[in-house]
Amino acid sequence: MTEVSSTEAGTAADGGSEADELCARTATELVAAYADRSLSPVQVTEAVLDRIERLDPLVNAYCLVDPDTARAQARASEQRWRRGEPQGLLDGVPVSVKDLLLTKGRPTLRGSLSSDSGQDWDEDAPCVARMREHGAVFVGKTTTPEFGWKGVTDNPLTGVTRNPWDPSRTSGGSSGGSAAAVALGLAPLSVGTDGGGSVRIPAAFCGIFGLKPTYGRIPLYPASPFGTLAHAGPMTRTVADAALMMDVLSGPDSRDWAALAPYQGSFRAELDREGGVRGLRVAYSPTLAGAPVDPEVAARVRRAVELLADLGAEVEEADPGFADPVQAYHTLWFTGAAKVVEHLTAQQLAALDPGLREVCREGAKAGALDYLGAVAERMALGVRMGKFHETYDLLVTPTVPIPAFEAGREVPEGSGHERWTGWTPFTYPFNLTQQPASTVPCGTTADGLPAGVQLVAARHGDALVLRASHLLFEALVREGITSAAPVRPRG
C-alpha cells in the first residue's frame, strides 16, 4: 500500500518524537512490526497513552481513558507475540470505542446525565467482543452527542468535542470523538455508529476514512432504538486498516437476529483484486437531489472523481433522481429518539440536550400511520436505488457539502437550517436504503479544513466500496492530496 512512511507521518503529526512516530503507525504496520519484533505492544500503548494525555485536551475526543487496563492488555499481548502465538488480527493494536457501544467492565454513559454509571457493566457489544477476541488493546471510549442523536458532538455530560484541524470547528458527529481521536493519532482504530451519517460526517470533517457497511454486516446488540437505520462501522486513517477491521467486526453474534450471514472471504484480500476499478460503471452526482455544495468541497470531490476515471473507471455524471427523503427520515429518527427517553423522569428530561428534547417531543406526536408511511417511502427509495445499481456499480457524491463549522452548534450560523439534517443531505438517504457507503479524504479547503468524497454501492457491495476506496485513497496519496499521517493539531 502506498502511504506516508511512519517517520514522515510522525514528523508531520507533532514534532517527530519517537513516541509520536509510533502513534503515526497504521494498524497494518503495527501488526507487521510486532511480528518481526521491531516493536512491542507495550511500547506502542505507552506512546498512545502519552499522546492522549498531551493532546486530547485540545479536542475532547475521549470521555473515558483506562491506562491500567490498556497496559495490562498490552503486556499480555507482548507475551503472546514473544511466544509466536498472536491471538488474532489486532493483537496489541490500540483501539477506541464510541460510548454508545457496551464495553465489559467500563461504563457506557451515551453522553447523558441520565445514565446510571453505577450499574453492572458485564457485556460487550458484538464489535467489542470481536476485537477483544482478536487481542486489541482498549485504551478508552470516545465522545458522542447525547444518545447519538445529531450530526455534531457535544453533550451535557462531557461538553464539546472539537476538530483537530481547527479546534474552533466541530468534529462532526455523532461519532465525533472517534473521528478526532483517529485523526490526531490517539489510537489508530475506532468503532463508530452511523444512523444518518454518524461515521461518515465526522470522518469527512476530520480528514479520515469511514465506512458504513451494509446493514447487518456488523452485528449490533442491544438493538438500537433507531431500528434498522443504525449501523456500526470502522474509522481509520487508511482503507487497508478499515478492511482489517471489517475482517474482525463482521464476525457473527447470535444476539443480533438481523445480522447477515458471515462474509465468505477476506475484505483485505479484496483490496488488491486483479483489475482494480477498471471498467466499473460510476455515476457521479455532484449535487444529489439538487443540494447546494460549497465550491471548494465540490472542486475537491471532482478531482477525486477524475482520479477514479484515471484508474480506469467509466465515469459519467448521473443522479438517482430521488427527492430529498428528509421528512420520512425525520419520522423514523425522531420516533426512535422519543423511544430512547420514554422511561426518563421529568427531572431527567429537563436535563437533556435542548435539541434532543425538541425532536423527542416531535417524535412522540407521530402515529402508527405516520411511521408506516415513512417506512413505505423508505422501501420505495430502496427499490429506486436497487434499479439504479443495475446500471451503475458505484454512486459518488460529496460526503458533506460544507467544511466543518463552528463547534458547539447543531447547524452553521446563518444557514437557516433547523436541524442537523439540513446541512448533510448526502448521508442519511443511504441509511434508509441500508447500502454500504464510505467517505475518503480528498483534500482540504483554503482554510485547511478537510473534504470527503462518498462512495456508495448496492446492498452487500461492501467489498466493492472498500476496493474502490482503497485505490482512490492510494491515488490521492500519490498526488499529495491526502495523507495517512495524523493531524498536527492547531491551537
Question: What digits encode the pLDDT tens for the residues 63-72?
Answer: 999 999 999 9
Is the confidence at residue 59, as pLDDT, over 90? yes
Amino acid at position 128, single letter: V
> For strand 394-398 and strand 281-284, is the pairing parallel, antiparallel, or unpaired?
parallel
Q: Kindly name the residue from 6, 112, 178, 198 that is annotated as catalytic.
A: 198
Q: Check pLDDT > 60 for residue 9.
A: no
Answer whether 185's CB lies under 8 Å from 94's CB.
Answer: no
Task: For residue range 419-463, list pLDDT tens digits in order.
Answer: 999 999 999 999 999 999 999 999 999 999 999 999 999 999 999
pLDDT at 336: 98
Q: What is the mean pLDDT of residues 359-377?
A: 98
Q: Are the C-beta atoms of residues 413 and 152 closer than 8 Å to each other? A: no
Taking 90 as the threshold, does the pLDDT of residue 190 lie above it? Answer: yes
Distance of CA 286 to the CA centre of its chain: 22
Give the strand order in the sheet containing 189-194.
62-65, 137-142, 94-98, 189-194, 231-236, 209-212, 437-444, 450-456, 394-398, 281-284, 314-317
Provide the pLDDT for residue 289. Answer: 84
Q: Which of 174, 224, 250, 285 is catalytic?
A: 174
- How far apart CA 321 and CA 123 sit, in angstroms, is 44
pLDDT-wise least confident of 2-6, 148-152, 303-307, 477-481: 2-6
- Residue 316: phi and psi, rounded to 5, are -140, 150
The grid cell for 101 is: 457501544
Question: Where does the pLDDT of residue 490 fall: very low under 50, low under 70, confident under 90, or very high at 90 and above?
Answer: confident
pLDDT at 489: 78
Residue with cell string 454513559: 109
Distance CA 301, CA 286 (A): 8
* Inter-residue contact 456 to 212 (CB < 8 Å): no
Q: Tell me, what's the pLDDT at 16?
A: 52
Q: What nine digits make up the cell of 291?
A: 443540494
The predicted-structure confidence for 27-41, as pLDDT tens digits, reads as follows 999 999 999 999 999
Q: Which of 77, 98, 114, 438 is catalytic?
A: 98
Does the annotation mark 6 as catalytic?
A: no
Q: Residue 46: what pLDDT?
A: 98
Q: Answer whether the bond into residue 254 is a cis peptide, omega within 30°.
A: no
Q: Looking at residues 85-111, what average pLDDT do you find?
A: 98
CB 489 within 8 A of CB 169: no
What is the β-pairing status of strands 394-398 and 437-444?
unpaired
Q: Quote the mean pLDDT of the chain.
A: 95
Distances, alpha carbon 197 to alpha carbons 2, 38, 162, in Å: 28, 38, 18
Is the pLDDT score of 8 beyond 90?
A: no
Is 485 among the domain residues? Answer: no
In the structure grid, which three cell numbers stand for residue 140, read together?
478508552
> How far apart, in whole angstroms, are the C-alpha atoms of residue 460 and residue 57?
39
Question: What's the pTM?
Answer: 0.96
Q: How many domains does the chain have?
A: 1
Rounded distance, CA 92 to CA 86, Å? Answer: 9
The per-residue pLDDT for 419 is 98
Higher-pLDDT residue of 242, 1: 242
- Phi-psi region at 396: left, alpha or beta (left = phi > 0; alpha = psi -120 to 50): beta
pLDDT the model gives residue 152: 98
Q: Does any domain span residue 490? A: no
**Residue 483: inside a domain, yes or no?**
no
Out of 2-16, 276-290, 390-404, pick the least confident.
2-16
**Grid coordinates of 124:** 460487550
Assigned domain for 79 exists: yes
Is a pLDDT exceeding 70 seen at residue 261? yes
* Residue 98 among the catalytic residues: yes
pLDDT value of position 187: 98
Between CA 332 and CA 128 the distance in angstroms is 27
What's the residue count for the chain? 491
CATH of the domain at 226: 3.90.1300.10
Domain that holds residue 168: 6-115+123-478
Residue 356 confidence (pLDDT) above 90: yes
Is there a domain that residue 1 lies in?
Answer: no
* Residue 269 reports pLDDT greater than 80: yes
pLDDT > 70: percent of the chain: 97
pLDDT of 52 strictly over 90: yes
Q: Are strands 437-444 and 209-212 parallel, antiparallel or unpaired?
A: antiparallel
**Phi-psi region for residue 147, left (φ > 0), alpha (ψ -120 to 50) or beta?**
left
